[in-house]
Amino acid sequence: MADSESPPPRQHAFATTHWSVVVAAGDSTRGDGRAALEKLCQMYWYPLFVFVQRKGIRPDEAQDLTQAFFEDFLERNQVTRADRTRGRFRSFLVRSLENFLHNEWRHRTATKRGGGHHFISLDALQAETEVVHDTVATETPEEAYARQWGLTLLEQTQRALEAEWADAGRSELFRELMAHLWSDLASVPYPELSARFDLTPVNLRVTFHRFRQRYRELLREAVAATVAEPEEIDDELRFLMRSVGR
């Protein structure tokens, strides 16, 4: 491999869209649907947990409610109610969670799954809001959810790119380039990195350019997996960047 070449692309976990995973999970004839959906739920667990906590619910309660939501979502095969024509998967999932929270309070469930604690009014909890330490205190639940969803996709993209570079034996260079991904090009210490990795300055610049280009490609793929139609991708990318940039 030439110095200025990037590692070859590799297959990723969600080559299909999140909606196709949902459709497969709702098909009783598909043996792999449930496992794929469980993996997808793991990806959205923390963004939805942040949403619940920003409602003013204590961290332990928010954790239990989020866990209970996904258990209910999987056990009762809620995916069969999904309507992919409504577009964004993130929106479908948070609407499903809001319906779940409403029903939990409406039915005044006496005992949590496996916890033995009592639910209390979501309205009452609003008066005892505890700050979520890793979110902005002024964010609404919807804003916190969107930001954490965006951060999750950025992290997924980084892991995918890191795996490609690790396969090529270039993990150390990946870490150095990743540190400058969002920086101005002038901030990259080209002379220092050229000497460390035995690259010419020209080759290093080309490598970094391809590094950033590949990151954008992977991020676009990650976002594409969350929408129903290709024409929604650009709008969703812009929404992601606004959400994480607040």
Token reading at 150: 């965006």
pLDDT category, 78, cuts 50, 70, 90? low
Amino acid identity for residue 132 in this structure: V
Q: What is the CA radius of gyration of the chain?
A: 21
pLDDT at 217: 96
- Highest mean pLDDT of the ranges 2-11, 161-170, 176-185, 224-233: 161-170
The owner of tokens 């101005």 is 184
pLDDT at 198: 94
Alpha-carbon distance values, 136 to 133, 204, 221, 237 (Å):
8, 37, 28, 21
Alpha-carbon distance values, 35 to 17, 42, 206 (Å):
15, 11, 40
The string of DSSP codes covering 100-113 is HHHHHHHTT-SS-T
Q: Is 18:156 a contact under the CB 8 Å cutoff? A: no
DSSP 8-state code for residue 84: G
Domain locations along the chain:
16-134, 140-246
Q: What is the pLDDT of residues 200-244, one digit of tens each?
A: 999 999 999 999 999 999 999 989 888 878 888 999 999 999 999
pLDDT at 239: 94
Q: Is the pTM higher than 0.85?
A: no
C-alpha 151/C-alpha 153 separation (Å) is 5
C-alpha 8/C-alpha 219 separation (Å) is 16
pLDDT category, 177, cuts 50, 70, 90? very high
pLDDT at 154: 95
